[in-house]
A and B are shown apart, each in its own frame.
Chain A
Amino acid sequence: MGQSGGSPPGGEFASALAQPDLTPSRPVYDGRLGELYAIYLRHVVLMVLTLGWSRFWGRTRLRRYLWNHLAILGDRFEYRGRGRELLIGFLLAVVMLAGWGGLMWLVWVHVFHEKPFANFGMFDIFSLSVAVIGFPLAYVGHYAGLRYKLSRTRWRGIRCGMAGSAWRYGVTATFLTFANMFTAQLLTPVVTVNLARPRISNARVGTLPLVFAGSAGDIYGRYLGYYFLNIVAWLVAIAAAFAIGGGTANEFGLSFDDFLKLFTAPSLRTILAAAAIAVGIYLLFSLLILPLRCWWQAYWFRYLVSHSRAGNVLFATAITTRQMWGFLVLNYLIVVLTLGLGWPWVMHRTLRLIAGELWLYGAPDGASVRQPADRAPGFGEGLLDMFDVSGI
């Protein structure tokens, strides 16, 4: 598979370090949108026919397509997962939740059933407990799902994998997320770096581990700038929205009651007006809030990539705020405006972005990267599927 044009970021750094080999290359994605759509639509049709039970096999087919159309150093990835492994993972998660439900029933019968807790019903205790355990479990599922996907991924015939405890990750992620919440998001750099580290450093290609050398201190200055600019931008956006919205309503002589009436008995005119208002709000927030977020995300992504390596292979990206906009905002809008059917397009755009913007310097010493001796997990993603956060 060939390489397309473009110059790598940090070329001067590459040439200054002639030893060892730091030849730049980029991944190649040769998937076609039409082919991906055909696979996706088949998946959706089967989903409707089987009331969702085909999703394990549908996801597997989509992964096979995406993985095998992405290549690094001329070698394609392989996805060797099976639908039945996902099904078993899902069923195990169901059994686990059913067990939890039974436990909560016992707690309710013996503790809450009698007054003074009579108004605390069985549904209340189960919903509350699932909400409480669901938060860490979603993180556990995320990590376990990543481990499963990596374990079913091969490159040059070598299995990838992931070490570390998903439960420990779940506990850490929950603690950090709550700590961040209680400190008004000021711990975001600590959270992002400490959650990225186990996901990257525990991943490996065969016996070749990935390394993440990032530190929260490196990015705090930029984050604080983003944080306070964000507050200013919100204040300006809200003030502008009130000024424009109030001014427009006054201009048309609309009272609050008129406004309510417009939306409770909508005519074509109302719908068009609502669409115009939505576009106006979108433009306002697009101009003020989202570029700032994309600017931060692009910076964080560049930092994350450039501080990761696999043996002697270094990574870099020069992804811009504008490209991050396309990745975060446009992709979101595509999915929303197509009622979900634009998902393959989003995936296609994402892989093209990766192929266009990720640079690798050097190549691994193939002879020293060996097939791992450990066994991969036998099933996958149950919790991830259960909490609906798996994507593909």
Chain B
Amino acid sequence: MTTPARYYDGETAQVLEVGVRPTAGELIIFRPADSSIVAHWPIGEIAVLGDGAHEGAPPVLRQGGEARLVIEDPEQRRQLAALMPHLSALAEVPASAGRRIATLGASLVVLVAAFWGIVDYGTEYAAPWLPYSLQVKLGETVYEELVADKDECHGTRGMAAINDLANELARAAGYPHEVTVHIIEGGPVNAFTLPGGILVFYSDLFEQAKNSSQVAGVLAHEIGHVVHHHPVKGIVRAYGLDLLAKLVSGGTSDLLNTLTSGGNILLAMRNGRTFEREADATGVALLEKLGLRADGISGFFEQMLEKEPKDAASAAGIWSSHPPTQERIQTTKRPPTGRPAFSTADWKALREVCK
């Protein structure tokens, strides 16, 4: 049997149209015109580069050499492979593309759903297991970045009062680690939570609050974020979506990542709204559990709404990180009963914590 092939000698870019004939011990490559021998390749030294699924015509070569044989006709390749079983890669015919696409497409859908399920729901259970020291390190690093050009307040009695209450609330929720409250001088009227049980308050919040219950309400809300591990969950989900987008785009284009940055913002906002509702509910429950006045959260929101009747959270809709303020007032509304969270002296000290 003679197989027509193209022969490249590996030293120059010359092409020879040759015939190939297998014998018991070797492959003979010859010129069909005059039957002159071009090369003898011992059968044990012949290999196929690649396979039928990727290469249009997998080249055949003698190991250790640069010369190649290319047989364009698939049927001729199949016949040669039948005579030389160790060249079976030459005859490989991949499964039909349609079937492979269907199988792989279905697998991809399942994998993406599973990946997202693991990221979205898995963080609910996995976040508490993230080493606490790592959470603290992350939180401290972010905090240092945030306060690099700001002044921190150190009033001893005020700091002790707010840290004591924070830890009492955290213990009531069964949180096993210590929480630390930092106070930064100035505004905005806000507070937030970082990984590792780090709470940050701005001193303007104490000046604007009508009473100590409002501050206790905000503190209890932030402890809600801490005990539900919201900062870590938020980070993991954002990175999860980013990674998924990169993986599904085959890692070949950053175009899709640009698109998903929009999706990531929406996801963060959705997470934000869910987290805020959860923190509101937990905050109120913790205050009630300790027998403290629990009307501070709704009171604080009412005050915010008085100042800004055109509620930004409602106006922003799906782009808002917080639920509408009116909704939050309704869900956190409690009677003004229970003991105050701070003594009069502590509250005074807290209001003067930056002086």
Which of B101, B149, B251, B256 lies in contact with A47, CB distance below 8 A?
B251
Q: Decide yes or no: A371 and B316 within 8 Å by CB, A38-B100, A64-B50 being known contacts.
A: no
CB of A381 to closest CB in B, whole Å: 12
A343 and B249 within 8 A (CB): yes
Question: Is A205 in contact with chain B by the CB < 8 A criterion?
Answer: yes
CA distance A76 to B58 in the complex (A): 10
A366 and B15 within 8 A (CB): yes
Question: Is B24 in contact with chain A by the CB < 8 A criterion?
Answer: no
- B residues in contact with A61, CB < 8 Å: 54
CA distance A254 to B119 in the complex (A): 41
Which of B9, B58, B149, B319 lies in contact with A119, CB distance below 8 A?
B149
- B residues in contact with A38, CB < 8 Å: 94, 97, 100-101, 104
CB of B167 to closest CB in A, whole Å: 29
Mark contacts of B306-329 with chain A using CB atoms, 8 A cut-off: 1 yes-contact digit, 0 otherwise: 000000000111111000000000
B145 and A123 within 8 A (CB): yes
Interface size on A, residues (CB 8 A): 71
A39 and B54 within 8 A (CB): yes
Question: Is A253 in contact with chain B by the CB < 8 A criterion?
Answer: no
- B residues in contact with A32, CB < 8 Å: 97
Q: Decide yes or no: A68 and B107 within 8 Å by CB, A40-B250, A52-B243, A340-B255 being known contacts.
A: no
Residues of chain B in range 36-92 having any CB-CB distance to chain A below 8 Å = 49-50, 53-59, 66-68, 70, 72
CA distance A23 to B175 in the complex (A): 81
Among B108-116, B157-165, B336-344, the stretch in contact with A: B108-116
Residues of chain B in range 93-127 having any CB-CB distance to chain A below 8 Å = 94, 97-98, 100-101, 104-105, 107-108, 111-112, 115
CA distance A367 to B50 in the complex (A): 27
Interface size on B, residues (CB 8 A): 60
CB of B56 to closest CB in A, whole Å: 5
CA distance A35 to B101 in the complex (A): 9
A119 and B104 within 8 A (CB): no
Chain B minimum-CB-distance residue to A262 = B317
CB of A268 to closest CB in B, whole Å: 14
CA distance A264 to B310 in the complex (A): 14
Which of A52, A118, A123 lies in contact with B251, CB distance below 8 A?
A52
- B residues in contact with A367, CB < 8 Å: 12-14
CB of A135 to closest CB in B, whole Å: 15
Question: Is B235 in contact with chain A by the CB < 8 A criterion?
Answer: no
A264 and B317 within 8 A (CB): yes
Best-buried of A45, A118, A120, A208 by chain B (most CB within 10 Å): A45
A41 and B149 within 8 A (CB): no
A156 and B13 within 8 A (CB): yes
Residues of chain A in range 144-174 having any CB-CB distance to chain B below 8 Å = 155-158
Question: Is A121 in contact with chain B by the CB < 8 A criterion?
Answer: yes
Mark contacts of B236-253 with chain A using CB atoms, 8 A cut-off: 1 yes-contact digit, 0 otherwise: 000000011011111111
- B residues in contact with A205, CB < 8 Å: 13
Question: Is A339 in contact with chain B by the CB < 8 A criterion?
Answer: yes
CB of B95 to closest CB in A, whole Å: 8
- B residues in contact with A374, CB < 8 Å: none
Question: Is A78 in contact with chain B by the CB < 8 A criterion?
Answer: yes
Question: Is B259 in contact with chain A by the CB < 8 A criterion?
Answer: yes
Among A184-192, A210-218, A234-242, A383-391, the stretch in contact with B: A383-391
CB of B160 to closest CB in A, whole Å: 27
CA distance A362 to B56 in the complex (A): 25
- B residues in contact with A332, CB < 8 Å: 255
Q: Decide yes or no: A48 and B247 within 8 Å by CB, A30-B56, A39-B53, A366-B14 being known contacts.
A: yes
- A residues in contact with B11, CB < 8 Å: 370-371
B251 and A37 within 8 A (CB): no
Best-buried of A37, A156, A264, A370 by chain B (most CB within 10 Å): A156
CA distance A331 to B201 in the complex (A): 50
CB of A313 to closest CB in B, whole Å: 11
B254 and A45 within 8 A (CB): no
Mark contacts of B19-45 with chain A using CB atoms, 8 A cut-off: 1 yes-contact digit, 0 otherwise: 000000000000000000000000000
CA distance A261 to B259 in the complex (A): 23
A41 and B49 within 8 A (CB): no
CA distance A354 to B174 in the complex (A): 66
- A residues in contact with B112, CB < 8 Å: 48
Mark contacts of A109-130 with chain B using CB atoms, 8 A cut-off: 1 yes-contact digit, 0 otherwise: 0000000001111011000000
Instruction: Please provide the 8 A-B residue pairs with the shortest distance between their CB atoms, ordered closest to farther.
Output: A264-B317, A34-B97, A119-B149, A340-B249, A157-B8, A366-B14, A41-B104, A369-B13
Can you report 27 residue pairs joining A to B where beta carbons are below 8 Å apart? A35-B97, A37-B97, A39-B54, A41-B104, A48-B244, A58-B250, A64-B50, A64-B55, A68-B57, A78-B49, A78-B59, A124-B145, A156-B13, A157-B9, A157-B10, A157-B59, A157-B67, A158-B8, A343-B253, A366-B12, A366-B15, A368-B12, A369-B12, A370-B12, A370-B13, A371-B10, A388-B257
Task: A260-B315, A340-B255 are known; give 19 further A-B pairs, CB within 8 A.
Answer: A40-B250, A47-B247, A47-B250, A51-B243, A51-B247, A68-B57, A74-B15, A119-B148, A156-B14, A157-B59, A157-B68, A206-B12, A208-B13, A264-B317, A336-B259, A339-B259, A371-B10, A389-B254, A390-B252
